[in-house]
């Protein structure tokens, strides 16, 4: 199992306008528990204002869905064209 710790950076406390950033990941049978153990300390490290706006979320990755940084990007193929 692969688990990602996602950081939701939000513009305000309503958390309606957020950007998601992968912060960490774990692999293995205890991956989810390891992620959950990390969240309280990271949340406590935020300032009081930021605790209301931002949040950490543990997400289990399935084989069908891959996080943004793991999606294969098309390779640039150099081609030469002559006229």
For 19, the domain range is: 2-70
- Note whether residue 76 is domain-resident: no
Number of domains in the chain: 1
Domain contains 78: no
In a domain, 50, yes or no: yes
Q: What is the pLDDT of residue 65?
A: 56
- The predicted-structure confidence for 11-62, as pLDDT tens digits, reads as follows 888 888 889 999 999 999 999 999 999 999 999 999 999 999 999 999 998 7
Distances (CA, A) of 23 to 8, 42, 78, 81: 10, 11, 34, 43
């Amino acid at each position: 199992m692969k688990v990602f710790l996602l950081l939701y950076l939000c513009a305000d406390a309503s958390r309606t306008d957020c950007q998601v950033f992968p912060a960490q990941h774990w692999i293995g049978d205890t991956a989810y528990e390891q992620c959950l153990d990390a969240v309280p300390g990271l949340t406590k490290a935020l300032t009081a204002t930021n605790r209301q706006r931002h949040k950490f979320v543990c997400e289990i990755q399935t084989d069908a869905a891959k996080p943004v940084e793991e999606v294969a990007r098309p390779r640039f193929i150099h081609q030469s064209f002559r006229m």
